[in-house]
Chains A and B, each alone.
Chain A
């Protein structure tokens, strides 16, 4: 029963992702978060009503620890997926490089030329504009949401002393 409960948590997240990408190929982060919150409220509501009606004792103090641990796993796993999911719509440059060098003997110069054709940077700038993180009026500028994101990354960079290579 315990393992089944954990599997249900993973299944709920898997189901959300599959449903989200049913009608769209690209992810808009704020939209994805908003839909996830709505989905979570819906799931909690349905489960609460179900248990309240059929198994009232399940919502007692005895099961409080199990329920809270499952909720923690649900949100943490969602956050892990959230960080990874952008790779679904935009290829990682490492993936593009591996795709080229995996089956070809190629020089660094030719690899750069091939990757340049993929327009990695302009695709990303376009994506940042779509995400409403950056404004592009001839000159790139952060939006208010973009400033929050930038401050977060800047804080991580400082705390962990990470170089920003790109």
Chain B
């Protein structure tokens, strides 16, 4: 029974994610997509409650951990396809894309993303970090933690 419920959770999580991504315009709550967050919350509510009633409160916690992993994995894989230079290189070779891809593209893409999410702004050609937004500091800290871990 528990294994079936896990597979149901897995299928429901990714099907709903595909549906949401295909039928609604996605906005960012940097660095996450809002629809991904909504999907995560819906799954926690549905499967948290089912686990609670069938197996008890401990399994509600397990359900949250499992759905958090689903959320992180889906976020990371999508992010890799969208932003990772290694994925870009692999897909460029695979699709025989001859467009030149340089460090300049890498920097410009990132600056555009950070600007459109209001994490930075450019004033008189100088790049400034938007101090009202704390997300960049948090991301910087996460990168440093990964290095230590």
Q: Say yes or no for A55: interface residue by CB 8 A criterion.
A: no
Establish whether residues A150 and B103, one from each chain, have CB atoms under 8 Å apart when the complex forms: no
Interface centre among A73, A119, A164 (most CB of B within 10 A): A164
Q: For residues 97 through 120 of chain A, which have their beta carbon under 8 Å from a beta carbon of chain B?
A: 97-98, 101-102, 105-109, 111-112, 115-116, 118-120
- Chain A residues within an 8 Å CB radius of B6: 68-69, 72
How many angstroms from the CA of A85 to the CA of B125 in the assembled complex? 35
- Give how many B residues have a beta carbon under 8 Å from the other chain's beta carbons: 63
Beta-carbon contact of A107 and B127 below 8 Å:
yes
When the two chains form their complex, are residues A92 and B143 in contact, meaning their CB atoms are under 8 A apart? yes
Partner of B66, one of A76, A84, A88, A102: A76
Tell me how far the C-beta of B85 lies from the nearest C-beta in chain A, rounded to whole angstroms.
5
Contact, CB under 8 Å: B86 / A124: yes
A97 touching B80, Cβ below 8 Å: no
Residue-wise interface mask of B (58-77) relative to A, using a CB-CB cutoff of 8 A (1 in contact, 0 not): 11011001100110110011
> Is the Cβ of A76 less than 8 Å from the Cβ of B70?
yes
Contact with B along A139-166 (1 / 0, CB 8 A): 0111000110111011011011111111
Q: B59 to A112, Cβ gap below 8 A?
A: no
Is the pair B88, A165 in contact by a Cβ cutoff of 8 Å? Answer: yes
Task: Give the number of residue pairs across the A-B interface with Cβ within 8 Å.
Answer: 185
Query: Which of A69, A124, A128 is within 8 Å of B59, CB to CB?
Result: A69
Distance A118 CA – B89 CA, assembled complex (angstroms): 17
Specify which chain A residues have a CB less than 8 angstroms from the CB of B89 in the assembled complex: 121, 124-125, 128, 134, 140, 166
Q: Are A154 and B107 in contact (CB under 8 A)?
A: no
CB nearest neighbor in B for A14: B149
Which residues does chain B contribute within 8 Å of A151, judged by CB atoms? Answer: 94
Decide if B118 is an interface residue (CB 8 Å cutoff). Answer: no
Contacts of B88 in A (CB 8 A): 164-166
Give min CB distance, A161 to chain B, whole Å.
6
Does the CB pair A134–B110 fall under 8 Å?
no
Assess the A105–B128 pair: CB atoms within 8 A: yes
Which of A77, A112, A141 has the most B CB atoms < 10 Å from its CB? A112
Contact A133 B90 (CB under 8 A): yes
- Name 11 extra pairs, CB < 8 A, besides A80-B76, A87-B146: A65-B1, A68-B2, A84-B76, A93-B85, A108-B125, A124-B85, A149-B90, A164-B88, A165-B88, A166-B84, A166-B85
Chain A residues with CB under 8 Å of chain B are: 2, 6, 14, 17, 65, 68-69, 72-73, 76-77, 79-80, 83-85, 87-88, 91-95, 97-98, 101-102, 105-109, 111-112, 115-116, 118-121, 124-125, 127-128, 133-134, 140-142, 146-147, 149-151, 153-154, 156-157, 159-166
Closest 3 CB pairs of A and B: A166-B88, A150-B94, A76-B69
The residues of B with any CB-CB pair to A shorter than 8 Å are: 1-3, 6, 17-18, 21-22, 55, 58-59, 61-62, 65-66, 69-70, 72-73, 76-78, 80-91, 93-95, 101-111, 113, 120, 122, 125-129, 136, 139-140, 143, 146-147, 149
